Structure 1
Protein backbone atom coordinates (compact mmCIF):
# COMPACT_ATOMS: atom_id res chain seq x y z
CA UNK A 1 0.00 0.00 0.00
CA UNK A 2 2.66 2.53 1.01
CA UNK A 3 4.90 1.52 -1.91
CA UNK A 4 2.31 2.89 -4.35
CA UNK A 5 2.36 6.38 -2.87
CA UNK A 6 4.29 9.23 -4.52
CA UNK A 7 7.60 10.14 -2.87
CA UNK A 8 6.25 13.47 -1.59
CA UNK A 9 3.30 11.82 0.12
CA UNK A 10 5.56 9.21 1.71
CA UNK A 11 7.81 12.00 3.02
CA UNK A 12 4.82 13.79 4.54
CA UNK A 13 3.59 10.66 6.29
CA UNK A 14 7.06 9.84 7.58
CA UNK A 15 7.48 13.40 8.89
CA UNK A 16 4.06 13.31 10.55
CA UNK A 17 4.88 9.96 12.14
CA UNK A 18 8.00 11.40 13.77
CA UNK A 19 6.39 14.72 14.74
CA UNK A 20 3.40 13.04 16.40
CA UNK A 21 5.61 10.50 18.18
CA UNK A 22 8.11 13.09 19.43
CA UNK A 23 5.84 16.05 20.20
CA UNK A 24 2.44 14.48 20.60
CA UNK A 25 -0.52 15.25 18.38
CA UNK A 26 -1.47 18.44 20.20
CA UNK A 27 1.96 20.07 19.98
CA UNK A 28 2.72 19.00 16.42
CA UNK A 29 1.99 21.55 13.70
CA UNK A 30 1.29 21.33 10.01
CA UNK A 31 4.13 23.77 9.34
CA UNK A 32 6.52 21.64 11.36
CA UNK A 33 5.49 18.52 9.49
CA UNK A 34 5.88 20.25 6.12
CA UNK A 35 9.28 21.59 7.13
CA UNK A 36 10.42 18.16 8.28
CA UNK A 37 9.17 16.58 5.05
CA UNK A 38 10.85 19.34 3.03
CA UNK A 39 7.66 20.13 1.12
CA UNK A 40 5.59 23.28 0.76
CA UNK A 41 2.33 23.80 2.62
CA UNK A 42 0.49 23.66 -0.68
CA UNK A 43 2.01 20.24 -1.35
CA UNK A 44 0.99 19.17 2.13
CA UNK A 45 -2.62 20.24 1.62
CA UNK A 46 -2.69 18.57 -1.78
CA UNK A 47 -2.58 15.23 0.01
CA UNK A 48 -4.03 15.94 3.46
CA UNK A 49 -6.42 18.61 4.72
CA UNK A 50 -4.80 18.75 8.14
CA UNK A 51 -3.42 16.91 11.14
CA UNK A 52 -6.59 14.88 11.62
CA UNK A 53 -6.35 13.29 8.20
CA UNK A 54 -2.64 12.65 8.65
CA UNK A 55 -3.17 10.91 11.97
CA UNK A 56 -6.00 8.83 10.56
CA UNK A 57 -3.90 7.76 7.57
CA UNK A 58 -1.01 6.72 9.82
CA UNK A 59 -3.20 4.76 12.23
CA UNK A 60 -5.09 3.09 9.41
CA UNK A 61 -1.85 1.97 7.76
CA UNK A 62 -0.33 0.81 11.06
CA UNK A 63 -3.39 -1.26 11.94
CA UNK A 64 -3.41 -2.93 8.54
CA UNK A 65 0.28 -3.82 8.87
CA UNK A 66 -0.17 -5.23 12.37
CA UNK A 67 -3.11 -7.44 11.45
CA UNK A 68 -1.29 -8.63 8.33
CA UNK A 69 1.63 -9.68 10.55
CA UNK A 70 -0.70 -11.58 12.86
CA UNK A 71 -2.41 -13.33 9.96
CA UNK A 72 0.92 -14.37 8.46
CA UNK A 73 2.11 -15.89 11.75
CA UNK A 74 -1.22 -17.63 12.39
CA UNK A 75 -1.14 -19.12 8.90
CA UNK A 76 2.10 -20.90 9.83
CA UNK A 77 0.78 -22.18 13.16
CA UNK A 78 -1.03 -25.44 13.73
CA UNK A 79 -4.38 -25.98 15.39
CA UNK A 80 -2.89 -26.26 18.88
CA UNK A 81 -3.78 -23.19 20.94
CA UNK A 82 -0.24 -23.00 22.31
CA UNK A 83 1.15 -22.63 18.81
CA UNK A 84 -1.45 -20.04 17.93
CA UNK A 85 -0.80 -17.99 21.05
CA UNK A 86 2.93 -18.20 20.29
CA UNK A 87 2.20 -16.91 16.77
CA UNK A 88 0.28 -13.89 18.07
CA UNK A 89 2.96 -13.08 20.63
CA UNK A 90 5.72 -13.28 18.01
CA UNK A 91 3.80 -11.05 15.62
CA UNK A 92 3.00 -8.48 18.30
CA UNK A 93 6.48 -8.33 19.85
CA UNK A 94 8.17 -8.06 16.47
CA UNK A 95 5.79 -5.35 15.31
CA UNK A 96 6.18 -3.33 18.52
CA UNK A 97 9.98 -3.63 18.39
CA UNK A 98 10.41 -2.98 14.67
CA UNK A 99 7.78 -0.24 14.40
CA UNK A 100 8.04 1.63 17.66
CA UNK A 101 6.79 4.95 16.31
CA UNK A 102 3.76 3.39 14.65
CA UNK A 103 3.02 1.41 17.79
CA UNK A 104 3.25 4.51 19.97
CA UNK A 105 0.73 6.30 17.78
CA UNK A 106 -1.53 3.29 17.60
CA UNK A 107 -1.54 2.79 21.36
CA UNK A 108 -1.76 6.42 22.55
CA UNK A 109 -2.60 9.06 19.94
CA UNK A 110 -5.85 7.53 18.63
CA UNK A 111 -7.75 9.52 21.25
CA UNK A 112 -7.21 12.67 19.19
CA UNK A 113 -9.25 11.36 16.28
CA UNK A 114 -12.69 12.73 15.52
CA UNK A 115 -15.67 10.97 17.08
CA UNK A 116 -16.40 8.71 14.12
CA UNK A 117 -12.77 7.77 13.70
CA UNK A 118 -12.35 7.12 17.41
CA UNK A 119 -15.05 4.48 17.04
CA UNK A 120 -13.01 2.90 14.23
CA UNK A 121 -9.89 2.94 16.40
CA UNK A 122 -11.72 1.34 19.31
CA UNK A 123 -13.05 -1.34 16.98
CA UNK A 124 -9.52 -2.10 15.80
CA UNK A 125 -8.38 -2.38 19.41
CA UNK A 126 -11.26 -4.75 20.09
CA UNK A 127 -10.37 -6.81 17.02
CA UNK A 128 -6.77 -7.09 18.18
CA UNK A 129 -7.81 -8.15 21.66
CA UNK A 130 -10.31 -10.60 20.18
CA UNK A 131 -7.51 -12.47 18.39
CA UNK A 132 -5.94 -13.24 21.75
CA UNK A 133 -9.30 -13.86 23.35
CA UNK A 134 -10.22 -16.53 20.80
CA UNK A 135 -6.89 -18.29 21.17
CA UNK A 136 -7.01 -18.30 24.96
CA UNK A 137 -10.61 -19.56 24.94
CA UNK A 138 -9.58 -22.30 22.52
CA UNK A 139 -6.69 -23.29 24.77
CA UNK A 140 -8.99 -23.58 27.76
CA UNK A 141 -11.47 -25.64 25.69
CA UNK A 142 -8.66 -27.90 24.44
CA UNK A 143 -7.49 -28.43 28.00
CA UNK A 144 -3.96 -27.20 27.23
CA UNK A 145 -4.28 -23.85 29.05
CA UNK A 146 -4.71 -24.71 32.72
CA UNK A 147 -4.79 -21.23 34.25
CA UNK A 148 -7.83 -20.64 36.48
CA UNK A 149 -7.72 -16.97 35.43
CA UNK A 150 -7.73 -16.94 31.59
CA UNK A 151 -8.97 -13.34 31.28
CA UNK A 152 -6.26 -12.01 33.56
CA UNK A 153 -3.66 -14.06 31.71
CA UNK A 154 -4.86 -12.74 28.34
CA UNK A 155 -4.76 -9.12 29.48
CA UNK A 156 -1.29 -9.64 30.95
CA UNK A 157 0.05 -11.15 27.72
CA UNK A 158 -1.29 -8.28 25.62
CA UNK A 159 0.05 -5.63 28.01
CA UNK A 160 3.45 -7.31 28.15
CA UNK A 161 3.74 -7.41 24.36
CA UNK A 162 2.50 -3.85 23.84
CA UNK A 163 5.00 -2.48 26.37
CA UNK A 164 7.89 -3.53 24.12
CA UNK A 165 7.31 -0.39 22.05
CA UNK A 166 8.08 1.77 25.09
CA UNK A 167 11.47 0.36 26.02
CA UNK A 168 12.99 -1.66 23.18
CA UNK A 169 15.96 -0.16 21.35
CA UNK A 170 17.70 -1.73 18.38
CA UNK A 171 21.34 -2.63 18.86
CA UNK A 172 20.95 -3.82 22.44
CA UNK A 173 21.91 -7.15 23.97
CA UNK A 174 18.77 -8.92 22.79
CA UNK A 175 17.74 -9.21 19.15
CA UNK A 176 14.09 -9.04 18.12
CA UNK A 177 13.87 -12.74 17.29
CA UNK A 178 15.27 -13.79 20.66
CA UNK A 179 13.06 -11.29 22.46
CA UNK A 180 9.98 -12.66 20.70
CA UNK A 181 10.84 -16.20 21.78
CA UNK A 182 11.38 -15.09 25.37
CA UNK A 183 7.95 -13.50 25.36
CA UNK A 184 6.44 -16.65 23.88
CA UNK A 185 7.84 -18.60 26.84
CA UNK A 186 6.49 -16.02 29.30
CA UNK A 187 3.05 -16.04 27.67
CA UNK A 188 2.84 -19.83 27.82
CA UNK A 189 3.73 -19.72 31.50
CA UNK A 190 0.96 -17.18 32.15
CA UNK A 191 -1.70 -19.40 30.57
CA UNK A 192 -0.15 -22.50 32.22
CA UNK A 193 0.30 -24.29 28.92
CA UNK A 194 0.36 -28.07 29.29
CA UNK A 195 0.65 -29.62 25.83
CA UNK A 196 0.28 -33.31 25.11
CA UNK A 197 3.61 -33.25 23.26
CA UNK A 198 6.42 -30.74 22.99
CA UNK A 199 6.35 -26.94 23.29
CA UNK A 200 5.27 -24.94 20.23
CA UNK A 201 7.95 -24.95 17.58
CA UNK A 202 10.14 -21.90 17.22
CA UNK A 203 9.63 -19.91 14.05
CA UNK A 204 12.46 -19.76 11.55
Structure 2
Protein backbone atom coordinates (compact mmCIF):
# COMPACT_ATOMS: atom_id res chain seq x y z
CA UNK A 1 0.00 0.00 0.00
CA UNK A 2 2.06 2.93 -1.26
CA UNK A 3 1.63 6.65 -0.64
CA UNK A 4 -0.07 7.23 -3.99
CA UNK A 5 -2.77 4.68 -3.14
CA UNK A 6 -3.39 6.26 0.27
CA UNK A 7 -3.45 9.75 -1.22
CA UNK A 8 -6.07 8.68 -3.78
CA UNK A 9 -8.16 7.10 -1.01
CA UNK A 10 -8.01 10.34 0.98
CA UNK A 11 -9.09 12.49 -1.95
CA UNK A 12 -8.42 16.18 -2.64
CA UNK A 13 -11.28 17.49 -0.47
CA UNK A 14 -9.94 15.79 2.65
CA UNK A 15 -6.35 16.75 1.89
CA UNK A 16 -7.47 20.38 1.64
CA UNK A 17 -8.82 20.40 5.21
CA UNK A 18 -6.62 21.99 7.92
CA UNK A 19 -6.44 18.68 9.72
CA UNK A 20 -3.92 18.08 12.48
CA UNK A 21 -3.67 16.48 15.91
CA UNK A 22 -3.82 12.84 16.93
CA UNK A 23 -4.39 10.05 14.42
CA UNK A 24 -4.10 6.29 14.54
CA UNK A 25 -3.82 3.77 11.75
CA UNK A 26 -4.83 0.15 11.34
CA UNK A 27 -3.18 -2.03 8.71
CA UNK A 28 -5.08 -5.31 8.33
CA UNK A 29 -2.92 -8.14 7.01
CA UNK A 30 -3.57 -11.59 5.62
CA UNK A 31 -2.48 -14.39 7.93
CA UNK A 32 -2.06 -17.79 6.29
CA UNK A 33 -0.86 -19.87 9.25
CA UNK A 34 -0.64 -19.61 13.07
CA UNK A 35 3.13 -19.12 12.97
CA UNK A 36 2.60 -15.95 10.96
CA UNK A 37 0.96 -14.29 13.97
CA UNK A 38 4.11 -14.82 16.04
CA UNK A 39 6.26 -13.45 13.24
CA UNK A 40 3.98 -10.44 13.06
CA UNK A 41 4.24 -10.01 16.83
CA UNK A 42 8.03 -9.86 16.51
CA UNK A 43 7.71 -7.37 13.63
CA UNK A 44 5.46 -5.15 15.76
CA UNK A 45 7.88 -5.22 18.69
CA UNK A 46 10.71 -4.19 16.41
CA UNK A 47 8.67 -1.37 14.86
CA UNK A 48 7.15 -0.32 18.21
CA UNK A 49 3.58 -0.64 16.99
CA UNK A 50 0.72 -2.59 18.51
CA UNK A 51 -0.49 -5.99 17.31
CA UNK A 52 -4.29 -6.10 17.39
CA UNK A 53 -6.43 -9.22 16.94
CA UNK A 54 -10.19 -8.72 16.77
CA UNK A 55 -12.94 -11.34 16.64
CA UNK A 56 -16.16 -9.78 15.33
CA UNK A 57 -19.55 -11.49 15.58
CA UNK A 58 -23.20 -10.52 15.21
CA UNK A 59 -26.48 -12.09 16.30
CA UNK A 60 -27.02 -13.57 12.82
CA UNK A 61 -24.02 -15.85 13.27
CA UNK A 62 -21.64 -13.96 11.00
CA UNK A 63 -18.07 -13.74 12.26
CA UNK A 64 -14.69 -12.43 11.15
CA UNK A 65 -11.20 -12.33 12.64
CA UNK A 66 -8.97 -9.40 11.77
CA UNK A 67 -5.25 -9.24 12.47
CA UNK A 68 -3.75 -5.78 12.18
CA UNK A 69 -1.14 -3.33 13.31
CA UNK A 70 -2.19 -0.26 15.28
CA UNK A 71 0.07 2.78 15.18
CA UNK A 72 -0.36 6.26 16.66
CA UNK A 73 0.56 9.44 14.84
CA UNK A 74 0.64 13.15 15.59
CA UNK A 75 0.33 15.59 12.72
CA UNK A 76 1.10 19.31 12.88
CA UNK A 77 0.97 22.12 10.37
CA UNK A 78 -0.74 22.57 6.99
CA UNK A 79 0.63 19.30 5.55
CA UNK A 80 -0.07 17.20 8.64
CA UNK A 81 -2.32 14.69 6.88
CA UNK A 82 0.13 14.13 4.03
CA UNK A 83 2.93 13.52 6.54
CA UNK A 84 0.83 11.00 8.48
CA UNK A 85 -0.14 9.22 5.27
CA UNK A 86 3.57 8.95 4.50
CA UNK A 87 4.17 7.23 7.84
CA UNK A 88 1.31 4.80 7.18
CA UNK A 89 2.62 4.05 3.69
CA UNK A 90 6.12 3.37 5.02
CA UNK A 91 4.79 0.90 7.60
CA UNK A 92 2.59 -0.76 5.00
CA UNK A 93 5.50 -1.25 2.62
CA UNK A 94 7.58 -2.69 5.48
CA UNK A 95 4.81 -5.19 6.26
CA UNK A 96 4.61 -6.25 2.62
CA UNK A 97 8.39 -6.66 2.46
CA UNK A 98 8.27 -8.85 5.59
CA UNK A 99 5.73 -11.16 3.94
CA UNK A 100 2.47 -9.77 5.34
CA UNK A 101 0.09 -8.76 2.52
CA UNK A 102 -1.87 -5.67 3.52
CA UNK A 103 -5.60 -6.10 2.90
CA UNK A 104 -6.71 -2.73 4.15
CA UNK A 105 -5.31 0.56 5.41
CA UNK A 106 -7.48 2.66 7.67
CA UNK A 107 -6.66 6.04 9.18
CA UNK A 108 -8.73 7.51 11.99
CA UNK A 109 -8.77 10.95 13.58
CA UNK A 110 -9.81 11.50 17.18
CA UNK A 111 -12.08 14.38 16.26
CA UNK A 112 -13.09 16.02 13.03
CA UNK A 113 -15.08 19.20 13.76
CA UNK A 114 -14.34 20.63 10.31
CA UNK A 115 -16.24 17.79 8.61
CA UNK A 116 -19.84 19.03 8.29
CA UNK A 117 -21.42 15.62 7.64
CA UNK A 118 -20.62 11.93 7.67
CA UNK A 119 -20.96 9.70 4.61
CA UNK A 120 -20.06 6.25 3.31
CA UNK A 121 -16.35 7.14 3.13
CA UNK A 122 -15.94 9.28 6.26
CA UNK A 123 -17.75 7.58 9.10
CA UNK A 124 -17.84 7.89 12.87
CA UNK A 125 -16.90 4.88 14.99
CA UNK A 126 -17.64 4.16 18.62
CA UNK A 127 -15.80 1.50 20.62
CA UNK A 128 -17.00 0.75 24.14
CA UNK A 129 -14.90 -1.47 26.37
CA UNK A 130 -16.76 -3.42 29.05
CA UNK A 131 -15.46 -5.51 31.93
CA UNK A 132 -17.54 -8.69 32.18
CA UNK A 133 -17.23 -11.21 35.02
CA UNK A 134 -15.58 -14.37 33.69
CA UNK A 135 -17.84 -16.65 35.72
CA UNK A 136 -20.96 -15.11 34.14
CA UNK A 137 -19.48 -14.28 30.76
CA UNK A 138 -21.94 -16.18 28.54
CA UNK A 139 -24.96 -14.88 30.46
CA UNK A 140 -23.68 -11.32 30.15
CA UNK A 141 -23.07 -11.85 26.44
CA UNK A 142 -26.68 -12.94 26.05
CA UNK A 143 -27.80 -9.71 27.71
CA UNK A 144 -25.64 -7.69 25.33
CA UNK A 145 -26.94 -9.57 22.30
CA UNK A 146 -30.47 -8.75 23.41
CA UNK A 147 -29.55 -5.05 23.32
CA UNK A 148 -27.54 -5.14 20.09
CA UNK A 149 -30.36 -5.16 17.55
CA UNK A 150 -32.07 -2.15 19.08
CA UNK A 151 -28.87 -0.09 19.24
CA UNK A 152 -27.14 -1.43 16.14
CA UNK A 153 -23.81 -2.39 17.68
CA UNK A 154 -21.74 -5.50 17.02
CA UNK A 155 -19.66 -7.39 19.57
CA UNK A 156 -15.93 -7.91 19.24
CA UNK A 157 -13.21 -9.25 21.45
CA UNK A 158 -9.47 -9.66 21.48
CA UNK A 159 -9.04 -13.38 22.25
CA UNK A 160 -6.19 -12.47 24.60
CA UNK A 161 -8.11 -9.78 26.55
CA UNK A 162 -8.67 -11.51 29.87
CA UNK A 163 -7.44 -10.17 33.20
CA UNK A 164 -7.94 -12.64 36.05
CA UNK A 165 -11.65 -12.95 36.71
CA UNK A 166 -12.59 -10.24 34.16
CA UNK A 167 -13.04 -10.54 30.39
CA UNK A 168 -12.88 -7.38 28.30
CA UNK A 169 -15.65 -7.20 25.74
CA UNK A 170 -16.02 -4.51 23.09
CA UNK A 171 -19.10 -3.01 21.47
CA UNK A 172 -18.62 -1.37 18.08
CA UNK A 173 -20.88 1.03 16.26
CA UNK A 174 -20.62 3.03 13.04
CA UNK A 175 -22.56 6.05 11.89
CA UNK A 176 -22.52 6.89 8.18
CA UNK A 177 -25.01 9.76 8.27
CA UNK A 178 -25.53 12.95 10.24
CA UNK A 179 -22.75 14.93 11.89
CA UNK A 180 -20.00 13.86 14.30
CA UNK A 181 -21.87 15.70 17.08
CA UNK A 182 -25.04 13.71 16.39
CA UNK A 183 -23.07 10.47 16.37
CA UNK A 184 -21.50 11.39 19.70
CA UNK A 185 -24.91 12.16 21.21
CA UNK A 186 -26.11 8.71 20.16
CA UNK A 187 -22.98 7.19 21.69
CA UNK A 188 -23.61 8.98 24.99
CA UNK A 189 -27.15 7.60 25.06
CA UNK A 190 -25.84 4.07 24.48
CA UNK A 191 -23.29 4.40 27.30
CA UNK A 192 -26.06 5.62 29.60
CA UNK A 193 -28.23 2.62 28.66
CA UNK A 194 -25.36 0.20 29.33
CA UNK A 195 -24.66 1.79 32.70
CA UNK A 196 -28.34 1.61 33.62
CA UNK A 197 -28.29 -2.10 32.68
CA UNK A 198 -25.44 -2.59 35.20
CA UNK A 199 -22.64 -3.15 32.71
CA UNK A 200 -19.20 -1.92 33.79
CA UNK A 201 -18.01 0.54 31.13
CA UNK A 202 -14.21 0.73 31.25
CA UNK A 203 -13.50 2.98 28.28
CA UNK A 204 -15.29 4.79 25.47
CA UNK A 205 -13.48 5.79 22.29
CA UNK A 206 -14.89 7.91 19.49
CA UNK A 207 -13.07 8.54 16.24
CA UNK A 208 -13.72 9.44 12.63
CA UNK A 209 -12.43 7.11 9.92
CA UNK A 210 -11.10 9.46 7.27
CA UNK A 211 -9.23 7.02 4.99
CA UNK A 212 -10.35 3.45 4.32
CA UNK A 213 -8.86 1.67 1.32
CA UNK A 214 -11.21 -1.33 1.54
CA UNK A 215 -14.68 -0.16 2.55
CA UNK A 216 -16.20 -3.58 1.93
CA UNK A 217 -13.79 -5.45 4.19
CA UNK A 218 -16.09 -5.51 7.22
CA UNK A 219 -19.13 -3.60 5.98
CA UNK A 220 -21.37 -6.59 6.83
CA UNK A 221 -21.55 -5.58 10.50
CA UNK A 222 -22.31 -1.93 9.94
Superposed pair shares fold, TM > 0.5: no
* Higher Cα radius of gyration: 1
With normalisation by structure 1, the TM-score equals 0.23
Higher relative contact order, chain-length normalized (CA < 8 Å, sep 6+): 2
With normalisation by structure 2, the TM-score equals 0.22
More strand by share: 2
